[in-house]
């Protein structure tokens, strides 16, 4: 397992040019292994340009409440900032630099955030949430195989729980709630389809509708009988890898968190034709005093060289169509090939955003420990939806 980076990473200077007055401040969500994989890209930029960079960690849910007050005062805590929520970038577009010229002609696989003709947010590499991960060695040792039907899936969970030393068949990752939402979104795509998924995003399909409730009642609730209570997601990954749990739903960044990515296998729920993809959007506030340097960094991050360097480290896929699997480590290359035929849809809670997002997180944490609260959970999700009020 990669060693976790400590608190000192909160202010890591990755440029070493002592003559520079101040480093360029970059704010991103990646800590631990994620930061280890991103910092070499910033180092390469500093070596190439002579511009030092100070990387600081702030998650979207911590960053979003801070920036509006800063912007209102004509200030910014960073020169180039990453956030996972495209809806947030749109909402504060007036405070952001137009990046249209910087990205002209780049074949993005994830569309930039454009507001009134201005490009204000640009995707930076991508992740997919393809399904349930397992250790090949664990499955081989116990004669297990990925399921082809729902019945086989339930039988697999039952067989895993019968293995000595296994606490529950499924590790349930948690944090602020997003790993649980990923699981529910996967069930909706598998058993409700893409149209239902988009309907829930747009508010044209209700969570309390019979069709949606049936997915919870017939599939998610039975699944929860084999799932652990929510565990902090990186700790859950360690426990799963050590054999306390048999399978773990997580994004493809899990490949960079384990000791042997070659031992990883993954399967979608049977019949699933689409999976969730996610990205982080970078933007430059108008109030930066280093806009030119920030633009130089953005150009490097979206360049073929910059993207190829990042994806070669593992845990992420390219957001450029012309930087493909040939640049990936073996685990990512195999994953890209495996999911190539599946439709990619955006993360539901990141897309709806606003107050609904933490409601989704909190209500699913409740459902995980009290499945009998299903109707209350669905009612709360409808009530909180921005188009359901």
pLDDT digits (tens, 9 = 90+) for 28-49: 999 988 999 999 999 999 999 9
Determine, yes or no, domain membership for 271: no
Q: What is the pLDDT of residue 96?
A: 98
Residue 372 banded pLDDT, cuts 50, 70, 90: very high
Give the pLDDT confidence score for residue 177 in this predicted structure.
Answer: 73
The predicted pLDDT at position 225 comes to 98
Phi-psi region of 154 (alpha: psi -120 to 50; beta: other; left: phi over 0): alpha
Indicate whether 12 belongs to any domain: yes
pLDDT of residue 16: 41
- In the chain, the DSSP E strands lie at 12-13, 24-28, 53-57, 80-83, 113-115, 118-129, 131-135, 168-171, 173-174, 231-232, 245-250, 264-267, 274-283, 343-346
Mean pLDDT of the chain: 91
Is 0.85 topped by the overall pTM?
A: no
Tracing tokens 């990755």 back to the chain, one arrives at 14
CA dist., res. 206 & res. 383, Å (int)? 10
CA-to-CA separations, 19 to 26, 50, 51, 361, in angstroms, rounded? 19, 10, 10, 46
CATH of the domain at 310: 3.40.190.10
Q: 268 lies in a domain?
A: no
CA nearest to 131, candidates 151, 142, 147: 147
Q: Which residues make beta-bridge pairs with 265?
A: 134
Same domain, 243 and 302: no
pLDDT over 70 percentage in the chain: 94
Q: Is residue 319 domain-shared with residue 292, that is, in the same domain?
A: yes
Report the share of the chain in percent with pLDDT over 90.
79
Statement to judge: residues 46 and 99 lie in one domain: yes
Q: For residue 207, what are its two tokens?
A: 């969570």
Residue at a domain's end among 329, 346, 362: 329
Q: Are strands 80-83 and 274-283 parallel, antiparallel or unpaired?
A: antiparallel
Edge to edge, what strands does the sheet with 264-267 contain?
168-171, 245-250, 131-135, 264-267
Q: Is the pLDDT of residue 5 over 60?
A: no
Same domain, 301 and 365: no
Task: Report the alpha-carbon distance of residue 275 to residue 346 in Å, rounded.
Answer: 9
pLDDT at 1 over 50: no
Beta strands in 262-342 (DSSP E): 264-267, 274-283
Same domain assignment for residues 137 and 242: yes
H/E run at residue 270: none
Quick: pLDDT tens for 59-118: 988 999 999 999 999 999 999 999 999 999 999 999 999 999 999 999 998 889 999 999
Is position 294 within any domain? yes
Band (388; pLDDT cuts 50, 70, 90)? low
Q: What mean pLDDT comes out for the span 133-161?
A: 98
How many domains, in total, are found in the chain? 2
C-alpha dist (Å) from residue 230 to 172, 178, 361, 368: 5, 11, 11, 7
109, 40: one domain: yes
229 vs 330: CA distance, rounded Å: 33
Structural domain of residue 54, as residue ranges? 7-126+279-329
Q: Are residues 184 and 239 in the same domain?
A: yes
Is residue 44 included in any domain, yes or no?
Answer: yes
Q: How confident is the model at residue 256 (pLDDT cuts 50, 70, 90)?
A: confident
Exposure class string for 218-237: b at 16+ Cβ within 10 A, else e: ebbeebbebbbebbebbebb
> Mean pLDDT over residues 316-341, rounded?
87
Check whether residue 244 and residue 379 sit in a common domain.
yes
Assess whether 119 and 143 both reside in one domain: no
The verdict on 12 and 78 lying in the same domain is yes
pLDDT in tens, 188-245: 999 999 999 999 999 999 999 999 999 999 999 999 999 999 999 999 999 999 999 9
In a domain, 262, yes or no: no
209 within a domain of the structure (yes/no): yes
* Same domain, yes or no: 140 and 238: yes
Does some domain include residue 367?
Answer: yes
Same domain, yes or no, for 182 and 118?
no
């Amino acid at each position: 397992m990669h060693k976790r980076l400590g608190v000192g990473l909160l202010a890591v200077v990755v440029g070493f040019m002592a003559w520079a007055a101040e480093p360029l401040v970059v704010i991103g969500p990646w800590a631990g292994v994620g930061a280890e994989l991103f910092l070499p890209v910033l180092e390469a930029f500093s070596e190439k340009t002579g511009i030092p960079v100070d990387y600081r960690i702030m998650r979207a849910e911590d960053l979003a409440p801070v920036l509006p007050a800063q912007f209102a005062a004509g200030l910014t805590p960073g020169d180039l900032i990453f956030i996972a929520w495209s809806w947030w970038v749109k909402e504060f577009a007036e405070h952001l630099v137009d990046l249209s010229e910087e990205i002209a002609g780049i074949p993005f696989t994830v569309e930039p955030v454009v507001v009134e003709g201005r490009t204000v947010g640009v995707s930076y590499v991508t992740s997919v949430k393809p399904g349930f991960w397992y250790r090949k060695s664990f499955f081989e040792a116990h004669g297990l195989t990925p399921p082809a039907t729902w019945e086989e899936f339930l039988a697999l969970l039952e067989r895993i729980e019968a293995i000595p030393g296994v606490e529950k068949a499924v590790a349930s990752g948690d944090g602020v709630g997003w790993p649980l939402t990923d699981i529910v979104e996967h069930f909706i795509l598998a058993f409700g389809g893409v149209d239902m998924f988009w309907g829930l995003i747009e508010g044209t399909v209700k969570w309390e509708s019979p069709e949606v409730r049936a997915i919870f009642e017939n599939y998610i609730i039975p699944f929860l009988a084999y799932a652990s209570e929510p565990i902090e997601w990186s700790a859950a990954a360690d426990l799963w890898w050590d054999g306390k749990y048999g399978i773990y739903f997580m994004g493809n960044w899990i490949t960079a968190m384990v000791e042997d990515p070659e031992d990883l296998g993954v399967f979608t729920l049977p019949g699933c034709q689409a999976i969730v993809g996610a990205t982080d959007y970078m933007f430059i506030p108008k109030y930066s005093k280093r806009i030119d340097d920030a633009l130089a960094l953005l150009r490097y991050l979206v360049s073929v060289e910059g993207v190829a360097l990042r994806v070669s480290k593992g845990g992420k896929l390219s957001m450029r169509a012309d930087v493909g699997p040939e640049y990936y480590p073996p685990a990512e290359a195999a994953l890209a090939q495996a999911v190539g035929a599946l439709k990619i849809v955006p993360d539901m809670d990141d897309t709806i955003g606003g107050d609904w997002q933490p409601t989704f997180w909190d209500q699913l944490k409740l459902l995980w420990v009290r499945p009998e609260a299903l109707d209350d959970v669905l009612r709360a999700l409808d009530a909180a939806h921005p188009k359901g009020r």
